[in-house]
Amino acid sequence: MVYDVAIIGAGVIGALTARELSRFQLHIALLEAENDVAMGATKANSGIVHAGFDALPGTLKAKFNVKGTAMMPEYCKELNVPYKNNGSLVVAFSEEEIEELKSLYERGLQNNVAGMELLSRDELFALEPNLAPEACGALLAKTAGIVCPYELTIAAAENAVTNGAEFKRNCRVEGIEKEEEVFVLHTTQGDIRTRYVVNAAGTHSDQIAAMIGDDSVKIKARSGEYFILDKSVGDVVTHTIFQCPTELGKGVLVSPTVDGNILIGPTATETEDRDNTATTLAGLNNVKVLAAKSCKVVSTRSAITSFAGLRAHAESNDFVIGPSKADSKFINAAGIESPGLSSAPAIAKYIAYIITNDYTDVAPNENFVAERKDVFRFRNASDEERQEAIDRNPAYGRIICRCESVTEGEIIDAIRAPAGARDVDGVKRRTRAGMGRCQGGFCGSKVVEILARELGKEINEITKFGNGSNILFEKTK
């Protein structure tokens, strides 16, 4: 068979693009090199929906950010993903930085950012009393928010599959050929034929583009390290707190997450290895020092985990979005670094527009359902809802992860969902099992058991995150 569109990369861009395209009667394949969606840049980033004043006016970053941020609340609602419009603050710590805030404000106006306000020191501390006393002013952006990047991606992929798209995991594209009007993608799961290709391959998008002779994309991977703090730290800040931006990015932020933890980070270090998500002592140390500048009470002693994420930085310093010069049916969505998450809904819509506009005879998908089915979450449910759920399915009465109150029923749902979990980390991202303060010490082995049972495998075949990351060796006897 020949697909209409094959999307390479199931990150936030790929998954949302698949969903946008599934509004039409198209054969869509969403290809992912790893064992799950959201395994690259999407997995580990700040989760901030930026207001849009950072990007230079006229850039694609500026254009898509403001549009994407405006679309985000509705998308999250449809996809049943938590989103919080908590607002952001860029905090100045000196008179020079106050001046910088003013230029950010001006830039924001040029980018059509609404809801900005320059705050005095008093106004700032009225909003955020726990900031470091050196803070002397801030730029408030009311449209900024927070979202969980992988939850959004999981939901988008699930919804796309529900609406007819196919998700293929462990499907790494190793070469592309063109036979007349059809691309032949040589993948680790065999050849895939398609009329259009969307290149959403994150830190590998230049390598994918090069397969059709497009050398316009040049990517450098940048690693960013973070700490997640225990929920007991509470709402030490309610807004996302930025410092004034530097050449390498927006600097270290302190922000609540939609799950009620505090996130601090990231650093920005270029890395040769495009899949290198190792943390470093120096990097983590740097996060601590820089975060303390914003907020002295944030102590990494309450850290429950640290991690590193990758950003696909394009040498052009802007997103690369649109048909390739080498082949107009090959659409790039590359160099998607911050504000990539914020821009994602708008980018996805734009790519879908390019393809459907170019395509002759494309009809809308009349069976398209925008709403993702409600997901039962024991921890958020009332007593009545809990009882009702257990009556429906007793597995909702068996708590597996006690730190986050995740039930067996929720884990089974996560595995059975379209584009569902196949490994321990996949279950964790979908249900939060193992994401609490004990980090899976108690529930890890139970999750392995449930995965084995659901997938019809032995427990030593179960992996942490796919190929080669098995948790157990052979039987002892």
Nearest approach, Cβ of residue 12 and other proteins (Å)? 20
What one-character DSSP code corresponds to residue 470? B
Judged by beta carbon, residue 132 or residue 471, the one nearer other proteins is 471
Give the pairing of strands 399-401 and 406-407. Answer: antiparallel
Distance of alpha carbon 335 from alpha carbon 219, whole angstroms: 6
Instruction: Assess whether 50 carries a catalytic annotation.
Output: yes
What three-state secondary structure class fits 321? Answer: strand
**CA 294/CA 236 separation, integer angstroms:** 11
Closest approach of other proteins to the CB of residue 279, in Å: 5
Find the binder of other proteins among 82, 110, 445, 455 (CB under 8 A).
445
Nearest to 337 by CA among 147, 149, 141, 167: 149
Measured distance CA(98)–CA(25) in Å, rounded: 52
Q: Is 279 or 324 the residue whose CB approaches other proteins more closely?
A: 279
Of 13, 10, 116, residue with least CA distance to 68: 13
455 belongs to the binding site for other proteins (CB under 8 A)? no
From residue 420 to residue 439, what is the string marking binding to other proteins with x (rule CB under 8 A)? -----------------xxx
DSSP letter assigned to residue 56? P
CB atoms near residue 290 (< 10 Å): 18
The only residue of 283, 335, 420, 426 in contact with other proteins, by rule CB under 8 A: 283
CB of 269 to other proteins, least distance (A): 12
> Distance between CA atoms of 408 and 140, rounded to whole angstroms?
42
| Residue number, 203 or 405, with CB nearest to other proteins | 405
- Does 460 contact other proteins by CB under 8 A? yes
Give yes or no for residue 166 binding other proteins (CB under 8 A): no
Q: Determine the size of the site formed for other proteins (CB under 8 A).
A: 52
Give alpha helix (H) positions in 324-407.
Answer: 340-358, 383-392
228 binds other proteins (CB under 8 A): yes
Residue from 210, 212, 399, 455 that binds other proteins (CB under 8 A)? Answer: 399
Q: Any contact of residue 278 with other proteins (CB under 8 A)?
A: yes
Q: How far is the CB of 391 from other proteins (least distance, A)?
A: 7
- What's the CA gap between 433 and 403, in Å, rounded? 8
Closest by CA position to 153, among listed 369, 353, 344, 367: 344
Q: Does 275 bind other proteins (CB under 8 A)?
A: yes
Nearer to other proteins among residue 240 and residue 277 (C-beta): 277
| Residues within window 325-354 making contact with other proteins, judged by CB under 8 A | none
State the first-to-last Cα distance of the chain, in angstroms, to the nearest integer: 47
Among 149, 224, 426, 440, binds other proteins (CB under 8 A): 440
203 binds other proteins (CB under 8 A): no
Choosing from 80, 85, 316, 470, the residue that interacts with other proteins (CB under 8 A) is: 470
185 three-class SS: strand
- Candidate list 106, 110, 441, 453; residue touching other proteins; CB under 8 A: 441
Q: Which residue, 245 or 397, is less far from other proteins as judged by CB?
A: 397
* Interatomic CA distance for residues 402 and 417, integer angstroms: 22
What is the Cα–Cα distance from 15 to 31, expressed in whole angstroms? Answer: 10
| One of 442, 454, 455, 457 touching other proteins (CB under 8 A) | 442
Helices (H), ranges, 369-417? 383-392, 408-416
Q: Which residues bind other proteins (CB under 8 A)?
A: 228, 275, 277-281, 283-284, 303-307, 383, 386-387, 390-391, 394-395, 397-399, 402-403, 405, 437-442, 444-445, 459-460, 463-477
Q: Which residues are catalytic?
A: 50
